[in-house]
Structure 1
Amino acid sequence: MTDAALALDAFAQWYGRRAAGVWSAPGRVNLIGEHTDYNDGFVFPFGLDRRTQVALGDRDDRVIRVASAFAPEAVSLHLDELSPDAVSGWAAYPLGVVWALREFGADLSQVRGVDLHLTSDVPVGAGLSSSAALECAVALALNEHWGLGFDRPTLAKVGRLAENRVVGAPTGILDQSASLLAETDAGVFLDCRSLDAEVIPLRFAEEDLEVLVVDTHVEHAHATGGYAARRASCEQGARVLGVESLRDVHVDDLPRAAELLDDETFRRVRHVVTENQRVLDTVRTLRERGPSAIGTLLDASHVSMRDDFEISVPELDLAVETSQRHGAVGARMTGGGFGGSAIALVAKPLVPAVSEAVLTAFAERGFRAPTVFTVSPSQGARRDV
């Protein structure tokens, strides 16, 4: 059965009737550009060939009911009771999207409620943005079903608002933009200040390259801890340097920044400033020389996240170093950090050997066995049925 057929079947089993439609959205891999999004910088993600499906059916009242394959009970909420404080747990993601649609001007006073059922094969907690896949699938489904008329960049903002205000995670707009705007064998080059997006061909298939993902199974939680602290450091650095955001600081400004900032804040700033430049360099290199030439930029990005931003963990470092040592074009951790996944750009014939080397290295260090798999840059959010 296709994923859409499975989603229809799951809806029918839960609710006892056929869904009106199925929508889906992909998780994402951020090829390069980490922690630059909330600093008004540049990012370059692509959509995964792993997706979250939402099956939707109408109701006769104004209740939103959400169920999922990963929770034992459904959660219901009346449309008139929507607020950031009204929901918690996993249901905050889909119900938060409904609230955020209203905040962006959607008139929900006349719409009927819906039943939603969610299924997904995007790994949770792996730094591949399972949360944005869920938000974007729900946002696109409700936008089309209710005839709200929002464009995709606006739906990305809706997803970000839901995650920031309802879930409580201070994330930028990278993940939602990737999930909504992605195309096959292409990356989304996004300016997070203007929200201008350009689809850039990656040409991985043409050059016989694969993206290998190493899910370390080290869990992270963006709503707490280190992510928020890094964001606060970036904001502090911008204040001291007298700029609106770190987007306005360039590599040539770093010597001055070193004089004005304490060591830790400077290193946080240096990561963001140099990472922005690496995104620009990656896009230019892809255009001029192709994907086999971007490896040194991926490698440098990981070093910066490990040493300056301090968001890597030993498992991520091991995955990256082992992949590099066994022939990867380049490798880096991806996502918010403190766990999650690493990616390696690998020539297709080397994928089995690199995968085996990573598994062996983890076993020798006594780490939990990672999950290693390949992904292909794939289409963004869509209606499937």
Structure 2
Amino acid sequence: MSDAELAAAATARFREAFGAEPDGVWAAPGRVNLIGEHVDYAGGLSLPIALMHSTAVAVRARTDDRLRLRSHLGAWDGAVDEVAPGEPSGWPAYLAGVVWAMRRAGLCDSRFGADVAVVSAVPVGAGLSSSAALECALAIAVADLVGAPTDEAGRGALAAACVGAENEIALAPTGGMDQAIALCGKEGHALLVDSGDGTVAPVPLDLAASGLAVLVIDTRAPHRLVDGRYAERRRSVEEAAASLGVTTLRRATDADLVRLEDSVPRRRARHVVTEIERVRETLRLLASGDICDIGPLLTASHVSLRDDFEVSCPELDNAVDSALAAGAHGARMTGGGFGGSAIALVDDRDVDRVAMEVLSNARTRGLVAPAFLRLGTGGVAARRLVPVM
């Protein structure tokens, strides 16, 4: 959906829900992660790309502590003062948590509330960060409405509030990569997210000039980060760092890994250490213009996620294996895993053929038929859409 279409749809939903006009409409993109998976909470490096697909929120400010939230998934009404870990649950947690976290950080008044209507073009449950898109769209809306800074430093503060909402209210123990790309993405670029020092930097990624595209494969296998498995992986990484006497695995080396006696923590840590190095090598290749040459690094990332981190599944493995067999330069799962999406770096002319091969093999293996997105230039960061008249 274009920005104009998103604005019109969100405005229409707001009018239907509340019988009035919103103060405005804001949007934030979903993302795919090119490489650097499960390392953001270990102080690592990631290279996400903003999608062209965004989530929009039509918002009207209130001054009575109340939130009224509406989307195609349902409705929630409540007081911000009553927001707490796990309350509310489900999609409203990501919105209510943002206002709660922004209040805590002093980014909005203690009585701020809002009426919010949501429309989204980001597939839900596909591992494409629909939750961060939702959070960041509302965060930029609240910031605009109350006059909070939205420059680079201001967006960093908003990203931190969104991470707080996701970790402490929605109880999803994610890192900060998704919020960083949603708030700081740039068209035609990936974003280098350094979770060690919190900095971000755009990295040129002109796929079209190289005759390439990223095929996003939504396996439609349910992707959930609050069922305990994601938290277990994060906990194992933190325990491995503690065993090695380092603050994060960003500071560990291959030589350090032999000191981990238990095989499971060793494998988890090996993924993190090698994945961070793969990101560094990807950056070197992109700087030299050798985009095709990053393909083997993407594939090695998937193997590590599958074997050492154990977050893949049959649907993701089918997507990766089928894309590679069809001639993709490289392929990997993207996102938290246990379902969700994979990406394949392919020649632009081969996108449809590779997609058909993935689809055919999924059907042959009795898997759910996947859906596909084509990523060319990438999307833009959280923004105000066409003003409501």
Q: Give the alignment of 1:328-343 within 5 angstroms.
A: 328-343=328-343
Which residue of the partner structure matches residue 53 of structure 1?
A: 56
Matching residue of 2:250: 247
Residue of structure 1 aligned with 2:185, choices 177, 182, 186: 182
Q: Is 1:19 aligned with 2:11? A: no
Match of 1:146 in 2: 146
Match of 1:214 in 2: 217
User: 1: distance between equivalents of 2:259 and 2:64?
Assistant: 62
Unpaired runs of at least 5, structure 1: none
Shift in Å, 1:217:
1.1
Aligned to 1:378: 379
Shift of 1:105: 2.2
Aligned-residue offset at 1:107: 4.6
Matched, 1:230 2:230: no
Q: Distance in 2 between matches of 1:265 and 1:96?
A: 32
Between Structure 1 and Structure 2, how many residues are aligned? 379
- Distance change in 2, residues 1:227/1:80 (3 Å): closer
Q: Which amino acid aligns with 2:58?
A: A
RMSD: 1.4
Secondary structure at 2:224 match in 1? coil
TM-superposition CA deviations, 1:181-222 (whole Å, max 9, x none)? 101110010110111111001111211211111111111221
Paired residue type of 1:140: I
Is the partner of 2:47 in helix, strand or coil?
A: strand
In structure 2, the CA distance between the partners of 1:318 and 1:110, relative to structure 1 (3 Å rule), is closer
Query: Identity over aligned residues, as a percent?
Result: 46
Q: Deviations over 1:84-131 (max 9, x none)?
A: 3542222111000001101212352354x3211011010111110000
Give distance in 2, aligned partners of 1:143 and 1:202: 30
Q: AA paired with 1:116?
A: V
Mapping 1:95-106, distance limit 5 Å: 95-106=96-107
Query: Which residue of structure 2 aligns with residue 81 of structure 1?
Result: 82
**Cα distance 1:306–1:86, how it changes in 2: closer, same or farther (>3 A)?**
closer
**Consecutive unaligned residues in structure 2, runs of 5 or more:** none
Change beyond 3 A, Cα 1:102–1:84: farther
In the alignment, which residue of structure 2 is the partner of 1:285? 285
Tell whether the 8 Å contact from 1:203 to 1:290 is kept in structure 2 after alignment.
Answer: no
* 1:356 counterpart residue number: 356
1:110-189 correspondence runs (5 A):
111=112, 113-149=113-149, 151-189=154-192
Amino acid across the alignment from 1:249: A
If the length of structure 1 is used for normalisation, what is the TM-score?
0.95
Which secondary structure state, in structure 2, belongs to the residue aligned with residue 260 of structure 1?
coil
CA distance in 2, matches of 1:199, 1:348: 23
Partner of 1:298: 298
Q: Which moved more, 1:157-166 or 1:372-381?
A: 372-381
The aligned residue for residue 62 of structure 1 is 65
Q: 1:78 to 1:290 in 2, by over 3 A?
A: same
Moved more, 133-142 or 258-267: 258-267
Q: CA deviation at 1:300?
A: 0.6
Distance 1:33 1:49, change over 3 A: same
**TM-score normalized by the length of structure 2:** 0.94
Match of 1:265 in 2: 265
Write the letter of the residue equivalent to 2:117.
H
Q: Which amino acid aligns with 1:157?
A: A
